[in-house]
Amino acid sequence: MAYAAPVARYFDIHPENPQLRLIDKVVEILRADGLIAYPTDSCYALGCRVGNQHGLDRIRAIRHLDDKHHFTLVCHDFAQLGQLVHLDNAVFRAVKAATPGGYTFILPADRGVPRRVLHPKKRTIGVRIPEHVVAQALLAEFGEPLLSSTLLLPGEEEPLTQGWQIKEELDHVLDAVIDSGETGSTPTTVVDFSSGEPEIVRVGTGDPSRF
């Protein structure tokens, strides 16, 4: 049964020493197919379990996304990331050297990744490893990647950066909000490696010059 709350639960989690009991409560919501807002090293993101079709639809509805949007699988570590995408030796070295950090990499997806989260024509997926204590704690306890998208609302130029503001604006469309203080307002740098050569799709928090 999918998790459904009349209003979002609000979790005030310490940015440097996350309270495990609160992280576990958020993990329970994710495993019950809830949709959350959580902080990363670039900005806030929406996240749900990879197999949560309803969560995917809710993200699309909140952000007014079409089926060509590249979703991101946010991973705890490189070992987890490597199970989701195809990496040749050169791309492996480039991606590994830039993680964790403010980059999202678009890569050909492994056959085990659900088709509905892939780009419909390219069969690619975005992957990243955040360098954020709370995001890392959440991913470690959850034990699997989070299907995510930047929390950028329709018509806005910058993402929301404050947990309390997200709670106020999206209270009835989310199941949980993690507040660990203000995040940045710049999304990740997106590097498309799907052709084997790096193409900078979006310049953001990560230094694009290394590619």
Does a structural domain hold residue 111? yes
Task: Please name every residue paired with 47 in a beta bridge, in sequence order, or none if there are none.
Answer: 36, 148
Q: For the chain, where are the alpha helices, taking DSSP H only?
A: 20-31, 53-63, 78-82, 89-97, 133-142, 163-170
Residue 1 lies in a domain: no
User: For residue 2, is it within any domain?
Assistant: no
Does residue 196 lie within any of the structural domains? yes
pLDDT digits (tens, 9 = 90+) for 189-204: 999 999 889 999 999 9
Residue 28 lies in a domain: yes
Residue 153: which of 67, 70, 45 has the closest Cα?
45
Beta strands in the chain (DSSP E): 9-12, 36-39, 44-49, 72-74, 103-108, 124-128, 146-150, 176-179, 189-192, 199-202
Task: Confirm whether 3 is domain-assigned.
Answer: no
The answer to whether position 150 is within a domain reads: yes
**Strand-pair category, 9-12 with 176-179:** parallel
Domain range for 190 is 9-210
- β-sheet with 124-128: strand ranges across: 9-12, 176-179, 36-39, 44-49, 146-150, 72-74, 124-128, 103-108, 189-192, 199-202
pLDDT in tens, 34-50: 999 999 999 999 999 99
Whether the link from the prior residue into 145 is cis, omega within 30° of 0, is no
- Of 40, 36, 42, 37, the C-alpha closest to 202 is 42
CATH code where residue 198 lies? 3.90.870.10
> Cβ(33)–Cβ(176) under 8 Å?
no
Contact 204, 186 (CB under 8 A): yes
Q: Is residue 195 part of a domain?
A: yes
Q: Quick one: which of 29, 15, 24, 17 has its CA closest to 176?
A: 29
Reported as a single tens digit per residue, the pLDDT across 120-175 is: 788 899 999 999 999 999 999 999 999 999 999 999 888 889 999 999 999 999 99
pTM here is: 0.93
Count of the separate structural domains present in the chain: 1
